[in-house]
Amino acid sequence: MYQDIFEPIRVTAMVGGKEVILETGRMANQAHGSVWIQCGGTVVLVTVCSQTLEFDKGFFPLTVEYSEKMYAAGRIPGSFFRREIGRPSERETLVSRLIDRPLRPLFPKKGLNEDVQVLASVISADQVNDSDVLALTGASAAVMLSPLPFDGPVAGGRIGRINGQFVLNPTFEQQEQSDLNIVFAASADALTMVEGEARFVPEEVIIDALEWGRQQIQPLVEAQLKLRELAGKPKMAFTPHADDPVLVARVKELALAAGLEEALRVPEKMARKDARKAVKEKVMENLKSDPAWAENDAALKSVGDMLSDLEKKLVRARIVNEGTRIDGRDTKTVRPIQIQTGLLPRAHGSALFRRGETKSMVVTTLGSSTDEQRMDSLTGDVTKRFMLHYNFPPFSVGEVKPVRVSRREIGHGALAEKSLRPVLPADADFPFTLRVVSETLESNGSSSMAAVCGGSLSLMDAGVPISAPVAGVAMGLIKEGDKFIVLTDILGDEDALGDMDFKIAGTAEGVTGVQMDIKITGLTTEIMRAAMKQAHEGRHHILEEMAKAIGEPRKELSRFAPQHAEVFVNPDIIRLIIGPGGKNIKAITAATGASVDIEDSGRVSIFAPTAEALEKAREMVSYYDQRPDLGKNYLAKVRKIMEIGAIVEVLPNVEALVHVSQLDVNRVEQPGDVARLGEDMMVKVIEINGDRIRASRKAVLLEEQGHPWNPEETARPPRSDRGDRGDRNGRGDRGGRDRRDRGDRR
Q: Which alpha helices (DSSP H) does 605-693 contain, by range?
A: 611-622
Please state the rounded mean pLDDT for residues 536-564: 95
Mean pLDDT of 506-531: 91
What digits encode the pLDDT tens for the residues 420-459?
Answer: 999 999 998 999 999 999 999 999 999 999 999 999 999 9
pLDDT of 615 reads 92
Condensed to tens digits (0 to 9), the pLDDT of residues 218-227 reads: 999 999 999 9
Name the burial class of residue 215, with classes exposed (0-12), middle (13-18) and buried (19+) by CB atoms within 10 angstroms of its CB: exposed
* pLDDT for 12: 98
Q: What is the pLDDT of residue 87?
A: 85
Q: How far apart are CA 371 and CA 350, in angstroms?
A: 20
Listed in sequence order, the residues at least 6 apart from 634 whose beta carbon sits closer than 8 Å to its beta carbon are: 628, 650, 651, 682, 683, 684, 685, 695
Give the residue-averaged pLDDT of 648-663.
Answer: 91
Q: Which 3 state secondary structure label does DSSP give 514?
A: strand
Q: Cα(391)–Cα(407) distance, rounded to whole angstroms?
A: 11
Q: Is the pLDDT of residue 742 over 50?
A: no
Q: Kindly tell me if the per-residue pLDDT of 743 is higher than 60.
A: no
Rounded CA separation 222/20 (Å): 12
Question: What percent of the chain is modeled with pLDDT above 90?
Answer: 75
Average pLDDT over residues 467-482: 95
- Would the pLDDT of 238 be above 90? no
- 48: which strand partners? 33, 118
- For residues 141 and 11, what is the distance between their CA atoms, to the nearest angstrom? 11
At 745 the pLDDT is 33
State residue 728's pLDDT score. 32
Residues whose CB falls within 8 Å of the CB of residue 735, separated by 6 or more in sequence, listed in order = 726, 729
pLDDT tens string 246-286: 999 999 999 999 999 999 999 999 999 999 999 999 999 99
pLDDT value at residue 86 = 76
Residue 479: Cβ within 10 Å count: 19
pLDDT tens, residue by residue, 344-365 = 999 999 999 999 999 999 999 9
Residue 718's pLDDT is 43
**Spatial separation of the C-alpha atoms in residues 350 and 549, rounded to whole Å:** 12
CA–CA separation, 604 and 369 (whole Å): 11
Label residue 136 left, alpha or beta by phi (over 0 means left) and psi (-120 to 50 means alpha).
alpha
Pairing of strands 114-124, 62-68: parallel
How confident is the model over 40-97, as pLDDT tens digits?
999 999 999 999 998 777 778 999 999 999 999 999 988 778 888 778 999 999 999 9
For β-strands 633-642 and 654-659, DSSP reports them as: unpaired
**What are the φ/ψ torsions at residue 536 (nearest 5 degrees)?**
-60, -45
Q: How confident is the model at residue 534 (pLDDT cuts 50, 70, 90)?
A: very high
User: What percent of the chain is predicted at pLDDT more than 70?
Assistant: 95
* Averaged confidence pLDDT in the chain: 91
DSSP 141-195: HHHHHSSS------EEEEEEEETTEEEES--HHHHHH-SEEEEEEE-SSSEEEEE
**pLDDT at residue 719, as a whole number:** 45
* pLDDT for residue 592: 94
CA distance 372 to 581: 23
Write the CB contacts of 479 (distance below 8 Å, at least 6 apart in sequence): 485, 499, 520, 527
Tens of pLDDT, residues 712-738? 665 555 444 443 333 333 333 433 333
Query: Nearest to residue 455, comparing CAs of 467, 443, 441, 472?
Result: 472
Which of the 8 DSSP states describes residue 660?
Answer: G
Q: Please count the other Cβ atoms lying within 10 Å of the Cβ belonging to residue 233.
A: 13
